[in-house]
Structure 1
Amino acid sequence: MRVAGLARHPKEDTIPETDEQLLEDFEAPVIENIAFECGDHVVYPHHGAGKVLKKELRKMFGEEREYLTIKILHNDMTVMVPCENAGIAGLRRIIDEEAVKTVLGVLTADVSDMPKNWNRRFKHNRDKIKTGEIGELAEVVRNLALREHEKGLSTGEKQMYTRTKKILASELMYALEKTEDEAEAYLDDLLAASAAEKLGAAPAK
């Protein structure tokens, strides 16, 4: 179980080679604290969407505080976040219908400019992911999906693409009321169709 406290400062001069390093470098955006309750679906930036299982007082590190226990479905991880630090951790509610339309628009839009150098491109995308904004996450997924169809991805970018796509699908699962498999298939089909339209090839079946 992972216990979230204050976010660590990112190491801007390094490029992580693994998901765990990318996670350690993550600094969540500070947002307004929201009073979450048991059963709420929430998004924990860089981990994905999950469900609040418990809200209870616990004594940890010699101090008694109220904690949220959150189950992240797509990676079967459980995290604990102090209620008073929910905003610091970047916890937010699942996007609404209008925001879903915006995200789908981003996913099917044209690719945005990215550095040609692999290291710079990786850092460029990593910085977008670190914002915790779903629109930025969707942009990274779209750009990597198009690049994969057109030129292929390096090992590091493949890992980033797989992880960000799962995080995005985990939120769309709740927002669109789908199962995990349905949400991932929906996202894959959308990206494949969009890439085929832009690159002039038939989508893979």
Structure 2
Amino acid sequence: MFKVGDKVVYPMHGAGIIEAIEEKEILGQKREYYVLRFPIGNNMKVMVPIDNCQEIGLRRVIDKSEVQNVLKLLRSSCTAMPANWNHRYRANLEKIKSGNIYAVAEVVRNLARRERERGLSSGEKRMLENAKQILISELVLAMEMKEEEARQLLDRAFA
């Protein structure tokens, strides 16, 4: 499905690059794994079983042409969110888990606006930062830019 050098998104972790494909024996079972390196943050490496990729939701990073659609979504009006904090948190978590960049961008947009207007709980603040980091990681790889440039691009979308 993917090859070494491909830029992919691992839901809940963000965008990374496939550095290697390795066969490992874990718990007595031999499997092939993608070795992903996440250039944003702490340069973490993760091994993803190749046969679980679709279940996990591993997908290619969007191309440059789609970035404008993401930025347009960030500038658009908020969608209705549950008033109850717990319901809102769960709905947003499901969107982030989906790995869909538009769903993650929607969470970022809605929580950023809510933070400006009413403030967020500590849990939602962490969720906003996590969602932003996931979005920034994909923008970095899609646009081939530095993390700070991607963060500024995101911030300008809210201005």
Q: What TM bracket, shorter-length normalisation?
A: over 0.9
Counterpart of 2:47 in structure 1 is: 80
| TM superposition shift of 1:56 | 1.8
CA offset digits 1:62-89 (Å, max 9, x no partner): 1222211101222432110122222122
Of structures 1 and 2, the one with the larger relative CO (CA 8 A, separation 6+) is: 2
**2:88 is the alignment partner of 1:121:** yes
Runs (4+) of structure 1 moved beyond 3 Å? none
CA distance in 2, matches of 1:140, 1:88: 22
**2:3 is the alignment partner of 1:37:** yes
Uncovered stretches (5+) of structure 1, i.e. residues with no partner? 1-34, 194-205
Counterpart of 1:74 in structure 2: which amino acid? I
TM-score by length of 1: 0.73
Uncovered stretches (5+) of structure 2, i.e. residues with no partner? none
Q: Max radius of gyration: which structure? A: 1
Match of 1:64 among 24, 30, 54: 30
Which region of structure 1 is more displaced relative to structure 2, 64-73 or 154-163?
64-73
**2:56 is the alignment partner of 1:51:** no
| TM superposition shift of 1:124 | 2.1
Secondary structure, in 3 states, of the residue corresponding to 1:68? Answer: strand
Instruction: Say how many residue pairs are matched.
Output: 158
Counterpart of 1:137 in structure 2 is: 104
Secondary structure, in 3 states, of the residue corresponding to 1:80? Answer: strand
Q: Is the 8 A contact 2:11 2:57 kept in 1?
A: yes
